[in-house]
Each structure stands twice: as C-alpha cells, then as structure tokens.
A and B are shown apart, each in its own frame.
Chain A
Amino acid sequence: MPNNSMTASDYPIAEKWPEDVKGSRGKPLPALTMEAVIDGSVTIEDLRITSCALVNQAQIASSVGRHALAKNLKRAAEMTRLSQEQVMEIYELLRPGRADSKESILQVSKKLREEQQAILLAEFLEEAASFYEMRGLFRKRY
C-alpha cells in the first residue's frame, strides 16, 4: 500500500496492490480462490467491499479531478458500516412524504454521527431535512 493517498497510477488496485485489497473479513484478494470457495472458507462476506477500498477509490477519483464521485465513494465508505436494513430504511425515509417532520430525519442522522461515525452521511441527511422543510415535503402523500 502506498504511503500517500492513492492516485491513478495505483489503479486498478486489484492488480497493483492485490495483497492489500481485502474483503470484509480481512481475506486478501489472492486468498479468494476457487478451492477456498469450495471448501467453505470463503463466504459471501469475504466478497464485500470494505470502507478502506472505497476510500482508496475515492482518492484515485480525486487525483483525476472527479471530486463529486470521490465524495460519493467516501459516503459509501461510511455506509459499509450500515446494515442492509438500515440502508433501505433510510432510503425509504428520504423519499417524499415518508418522514413527517424534520426531527424524524435528524434523529437518524444523530445516530449515524454518534453511533456509527458516519459523519458525511449524517451531514447529507441534515441537509436533506432542511431542504425538505423548505420545500414542504413533510406532508403525507397518499
């Protein structure tokens, strides 16, 4: 792994840094072999991307001026800490008319910030809450 932030020259990281690319249980890419899949030591969890890989990809995107993509990848890095259910619940909450008040979104963002260290996601939700309020989205839709 390079000491500094990754750049385009580190890409594709699966080829440039295979030993450093790890699944969510810590197994590096070269360990994800057919034998290991067959003997049961590799599971679907080992094929999950980690926050580290996403941060690396964000750095690479930034290095070529794609800051918006990089920001999304950083939000995604935080989101790896969220369960599938939580991801979908928050998505549902953000859809029009699902949240009945600004507070219901802010409660969720508080949890993200304080319990899951998901600062960017928390900010994203807080911002949504303020615009939803401005645009009158906290009304029930049938």
Chain B
Amino acid sequence: MNQKNGANRWKRFEDWDARPLRLDKFAAEDPENGFAAFHGAADPKPTLGLVGNRITAMDGVQEEDFDMIDAFIANYHIDPVIAKEAMAIPSEQLARMLVDMNVPRTQLTRLARGLTPAKLAETVAQLNAMEIAFAYSKMRARQSPGNQAHVTNAKDDPLQLAADAAIAVALGFDEIETTMRVARNSWSNALACCVGSTVGRAGTLFQCSSEEAEELEIGMAGFTSYAETISVYGTESAFIDGDDTPWSKGWLTAAYASRGIKMRCTSGAAAELLMGFHESKSMLYLEARCLCLQRGMGSQGTQNGGIDGAPLASTVPGGVREIMAENLIAVWLDLECASGNDARHSESDMRVAAKVLPYLIGGSDLICSGFGSILKYDNSFNPSSFNGEEIEEFLVLQRDFEADGGLTAVEDARSLDLRRRAIDALAFVLKDLQLAEATEDMKRSVAVASGSNDTESFAPREVALISDKINQNGVTVIDVIRSLYRGEFYAEAENLLFLVKLRVSGDYLQTSSVVRDGHVISAINDPNNYTGPGTGHRLTEARRKELAAIRDVLDRDEVLRAEAASKVTEAKSIRYQTMGPAIIGKNVKEIVVGVSPGFGSKIFRTLAGHRLSDVLAALKTGIEHGHGSMRLVRLWHTADTSFLGLSAARLSGSGLGIGLQSKGTAVIHQKNRLPHNNLELFSNAPITTLKHYEKLGFNSTVYAGGDLPDPIIVPTKGEALGARFHARVALTYAIETAMTKDDASPEDLEITFLEVR
C-alpha cells in the first residue's frame, strides 16, 4: 500500500472542510444555557389570571412577581376584553386558524390582542417551516411587499453615500438606512444620504442609525424620516443592561411620532443570549415577550427576525425556523415587520438563499432590514445576507419565482448618470453651505467606483469636520432644499420638499407605511386581504415585465446577430460547394461526416466558440492520421446528432460515420447499430477542444479497421453547462430543425480551406 492510499479518513471530508459552510460554527442544543430555539428549560406554560379587567397572573407569574416586562405587557398589550375569549382557544386550533385561508387576517389580529407571550409562542411553534411561511404571507399587514437598503461606506465618504443612495433609490428600495464608522460623522452621513436619495424619485424614506438622542435630533433637523433602532429585550436584566426600560423606550416611541418621524422597534432572537441574560428561556418565548412589549408601547412595527442575533440563533437546531416563527408572531400582532434577512447568518450562499426564499415568495413589508446595496466591506453594519455583490442574484430570484422582492434592475448607462447627478448635487450643497469643496477628480473617482477602495475622496478628518459644521451651524433640511434650488437641482429640491411634507400629516405613522408613486401606502389603504388564490398581493403584468427585465437576456435575434458576425470570418476560411445527392460510398477507408442542415450556412461556431472550419480541419487531420479519408455530407432530414451519425455511417464505404451538429455535438456511429447505441459521443460541446475532434476523427478509423481504440473522455470540471448554454442551444437548434425537410436526401459537400493550416 503506498502512502497516498494509506490515509485513514475519507477524503470527501477534506473537500467538505474546504467549503465556506465549514466556517460557520454550529452549537449544541442546551436549553439550560439558553441554546434553544423553541423549547427553553424555563419556558412557562401559557396562563392568564383575570379578575374583572385586572390581570392577576400571566404565563405562570403572579402579579406581585411581575418584572417590568410582564407588567408592561399586562398593562399595555393584553386587552382583557378579548383575553378571556382568546386564551380559551386551544393553541392547536389557533395554529390551524393561522394557516386556514378562510380565516381572515383581521379575526386573528383581534385575537392576538388577548394572547400572552407564552400562548403566542406555543401556537406558532406547532407550525412547520412551510406553514409558518404561508401564515406569514397571509398575516403580514401591508399587501405590497417592499425592501430596505443599507447605504454606508468604509470611509464615511459623503460623495459615495450620495451616489450609492441614488442607486438604492433607483433599485426600488422603499427605505434606506445609513450608519457611521466614526460616530461623530452622523450629520455628514445624514446630509449625504438625504441629498442622494432625492435623485430620480421622491419618497424613499431614510434613517441614520446613531445614538438615541442624536438620532432624534437629526430627525428633527429634517434629514431623516424614520428610525428603527429602538431596541427592546425579552428579559429585564438584558433590558437594563441595554440601559433602558420599557418605559424609557415607550417614551422614545412617542417622541418620534411627536416629531412626525416614522419609527419601529427592533428585537430579535438570541439578543438576550448574546448579552448573557437569557433566564434559560427559549429564543421564541423571549421574542414573543419583546413583540408583545412593542405592540404595547404603540410602535407601529418592528425590525424583527434574529437581526444582529441571527448568526447566533442559526447555530442551534431549528434556529432559522425560529426566526421565521418570531416574524410570524410580529405580523400576527399586527405590527409592520422589517423581517431581518439582514446580518449575514452564514458564510454559505446556499444557507443565505434558502433563508430569504420564504420572504421573497411570500412577501414582507420590508424583506430585508437591510439589504446591503453597497459592497460587503463597505457595509458599516457588517455584511448583510445580500450585498452589492449579490444584487443581481436577488434580481434573478425575483425573476425565477415571479416574486416581487421590491427591486428593479438599473441599466448600465443610467446608473452612472444617477451617481453623477447625486454627487454633483451633494458637492454643490457642501460648497454652497460652506461645508467643504469637492474636486472634479474626487467626483469622478466616486462616480465610477464600485466601492470605497476605488475612491479618492474626502479624508476621514475632513468628513468629521463637515459633520461638526452641519451640527454646529444648525443646518436643517430647509437650508438643503434652498441650496439644491440655488444649484438648479430643481427636481431634487422638489423631491426633498415632498418628503419632509409627509411629516406634517403623519400619514406615514400608520402601520407599514411606505411611499409609492408619490402616495403613502400602508396597512390602512393597502391592507393585506389574502383569503386564497387570486387574492392578496399579485404581480401586475407591468411589474412582471419589470422583474423579467434583467440585463444580458438572450433571444433569437441575438443568436442570429452573433452568427452573422461569425459568417464574415468563416467566409474567409472555408468554402462549401454542394455536389449533388450523396450515395453510398465504395471506399472502405472513407469516414463520412454528416453535418446538420444549418452547418456553415446559418451557424458558424460551436458552443465552445470554435469556427466550424477549424472543427472540420481537426476531424480531417485525425481521419487522415488513421489513414482514412473524410467525405462530407449534409443531411437535410434531421438535425439530431444520433441520426446524423447513423445516416452518415449508412452512406459510408467503411460503415463508419461521424455526426456533427453546428453547435459542436458529435458522435461516431456505425451502420446496423440502433440509433442511440453509438460508439462514442461528445455531448458536452462547450468544453470540447479541437484536439478532441481530431482524436474523434482518428478513433473512427480505428473502429473502421475493426479494432477498439481508447475512447476519448472530454473532462468536465462540473460546470453547469446547461445553465451556461442551453438557452443558446435551444435557439440554435430551433434554427436548424426549422430547416429540416422530411424526405430530403443527403447532399455531398466539397470543402476548400482558404487559409494555410
């Protein structure tokens, strides 16, 4: 036994070790220590004590022992009038109602107002992943799905923020969120994204995630229109450790509304576990508490579904199902749900795509909270499930499933115009308000940059100074509107005025509000009315076409255009001459090569890109190397490889023939064999080299001599050749099959190579 074969481990494990998946760390279920998705060691059974309208006990805790969270939920979430009826319904029955399309959403949201956290958790825990996804789709508040983007960069460069904000708007995001690498840059980030998001379309909501007091101040100055960093936790200790209480967060919730700023709270599985205060309770139960708390506080919505804890939640068995389940509780509680799919929970692209799918096909108020519209390294929140790198994957998933994920492709040329417009607008405002001056070189480098590694723009110190000045000078959105107007950025000025006027009516303070086509839509005027097929959110034909319109889509004209270009070069290298009907040859050394109807007349290159003249030359070389002679025949009755080969063999004096399709698929055949029982087949035309064709020619002569050669193996690296080529194959092949005539006889072809070989 040699050393190589002496290993005591199956080598497949080495292959598996090398995959990105193995960078993920998985954790054992350990309910005592908080590592449990659904069934915590200390999860209570659902109970509710009611004396009149007073809640005397909840989920196994007596009123006098309520912690702050229990107390807040009892006071503000539980509606005692409904509670008696709702708590009496067995959780099995509630679970069935959630997935029953005949039970309307509003009936269930009403009952939720009387359910305790443990009851909500016990109910959704009974659903499998598909049932949760279905129930989520039925229960989410607004009918039209949407999405949210992160717009940040590693340098906090305002020019890039403006350009990337404009792109996020063009992609169709309803909301964009920024944050900073350096806390004091918040005002600069806010101004930059605010200006960038006015380019192209009005109404994209914007938030700047920063320290609570400052975030509200930035909102007051009019730069931002929403906030979502009001975090809540499911245990009292975690809450206090987070330096807040339900009442302080409740106060902030009212504060944002009082300033006309949309807000949602944030919570997600495993936050308490990360903070070390899990009380041996399951992720789902703690999250149910968070969500009841949020509804009680009067938040219109929640950013929920693991969020920063998603990577940790996903380490335990059922963790991803738990994330879905907590999102379901959120919408059952009638909250807007910005459903996570945010912090990347895995290094495996497959795990990421699998996780987002239910939200993409079922819809969500904001499928990602947020989607990194910038490159991974520029994402100051840490990489998202989807990032700038993967935007096109998301667009294609939308197209595949005909599911509206909120995004629309942006054309190449338009994207550069938008970026430049945003950069020019911001540069003008910075100069006009005496904050900074951007040079033409800076602007150009940012306009074309994919990420901040490519830019030569503001230095970090300059950004901090810009930010300080905005704050110290008391710049407000009114100053920015006036400045845009002075700079003749009229559309942008109007778009910004439109956005800040929204806060006067407060229409976007209602549940699940976003702005579409200049109108606020929300759960009030666009309620999810799903009650079965044909109801709820459906794609319009116009939107379906938008989703289909990704770049580089092949059609028949495109194939013919490409072939027309090849025709010119082929005309210089080979001449085909039709010699009349082909008859059975006498020469026992001849190998007949039977080509398809469009070979060299409509189609000129194989899928591997070889000129057909080169393929014929290679075959000829191989055949002659085996002391045979090549005769070329065009077959008109078929374009199928096997029949091309068999018909060629039947015409061949040696009984051996080669069938060759224009796209490069080739076969060695012998007369008297069954059509699909060939001698050798090159089925993977895209990876077949000229050398392979030459060997094929040679082998046919060996068969003709009655011997058995080494069959030629075309090595594959496992490329998904179908994905790469089948659209072109089908289009090309259809061109050829359209040329076939049932009774047409084969014709001899004479070829002349016009190049020195």
Which residues of A does B touch, CB under 8 Å?
A: 8, 11-15, 21-23, 29, 32, 34, 37-38, 42-44, 46-50, 53-54, 56-57, 60-61, 64-73, 75-80, 82, 84, 87-88, 90-91, 94-96, 121, 124-125, 127-128, 131-132, 134-135, 137
Contact = CB atoms under 8 A, between A and B. Distances in A.
Nearest to B260: A49
A91 B255 contact: yes
B111 to A, nearest CB: 11
A34 B296 contact: no
A15 B519 contact: yes
Contacts, number: 192
A76 B503 CA distance: 13
Nearest to A128: B247
A91 B213 contact: yes
A135 to B, nearest CB: 5
Contacts of A79: 254-255, 257-258
Contacts of A72: 250, 253-254, 257, 297-299
A94 B298 contact: no
A34 B485 contact: yes
A132 to B, nearest CB: 7
Contact of B509 (A29, A47, A68, A73): A73
Contact of B504 (A22, A43, A88): A22
Given A13-B505, A37-B478, A127 B75 contact: yes
B493 A44 contact: no
A22 B256 CA distance: 18
Interface stretch (B13-21, B114-122, B170-178, B236-244): B236-244
B168 interface: no
B24 interface: no
B522, B523, B524: most-surrounded residue (chain A CB, <10 A) = B524
B205 to A, nearest CB: 15
B67 interface: yes
Contacts of B113: 65, 67
Given A65-B110, A80-B258, A131-B68, 4 more contacts: A61-B511, A72-B250, A76-B254, A132-B247
Contacts of B68: 131, 135
A127 B247 CA distance: 9
A12 B258 contact: no
Contacts of A65: 106, 109-110, 113, 334
B520 interface: yes
Given A79-B254, A131-B247, A14 B525 contact: no
B216 interface: yes
7 A-B pairs with least C-beta separation: A72-B298, A76-B257, A49-B260, A79-B258, A128-B247, A14-B505, A94-B248
B217 interface: yes
Nearest to B479: A44
Given A37-B478, A49-B258, A87-B258, A73 B504 contact: no
B481 interface: yes
A71 to B, nearest CB: 5
B744 to A, nearest CB: 69
A44 B510 CA distance: 23
Contacts of B519: 12, 15
Nearest to A125: B247
Contacts of B500: 47
Contact of B506 (A37, A53, A125): A53
Contacts of B297: 68, 72
Nearest to B474: A44
Contacts of A66: 334, 511
Nearest to A35: B485
A78 B303 CA distance: 26
B212 interface: yes
B720 to A, nearest CB: 48
Contacts of B524: 8, 11-12, 60, 64
A96 B511 contact: no
B252 interface: yes
A48 B504 contact: yes
21 contacts: A8-B525, A12-B519, A29-B501, A37-B478, A37-B481, A42-B478, A44-B221, A47-B260, A47-B478, A47-B504, A49-B260, A53-B506, A60-B510, A65-B110, A67-B113, A82-B258, A95-B244, A96-B240, A127-B247, A131-B68, A131-B71
B76 interface: yes
Nearest to B261: A49
Contacts of A46: 504
Nearest to A10: B524
Interface string B473-490: 000111001100100000
B684 to A, nearest CB: 59
Nearest to A82: B258
Nearest to B64: A134
Given A11-B510, A69-B300, A23 B504 contact: yes
A37 B525 CA distance: 30
A73 B513 CA distance: 15
A119 B541 CA distance: 52
B497 interface: yes
A140 B255 CA distance: 26
B502 interface: yes
A49 B502 CA distance: 9
Contacts of A127: 75, 247
B26 interface: no
A56 B509 CA distance: 11
Contact of A124 (B109, B217, B250, B522): B250
A103 B500 CA distance: 40
Nearest to B294: A68
A44 B501 contact: no
Interface string B334-356: 10000000000000000000000
Q: Which of B220, B247, B258, B334 has the most CB of A within 10 A?
A: B258
A12 B518 CA distance: 12
A66 B221 CA distance: 29
Contact of A132 (B212, B245, B497): B245
Nearest to B244: A95
A68 B511 CA distance: 12
Contacts of A76: 254-258
B602 to A, nearest CB: 58
Contacts of B444: none
A14 B254 contact: no
Interface string B134-155: 0000000000000000000000
A25 B219 CA distance: 19
Contact of B507 (A11, A50, A95): A11
B482 A124 contact: no
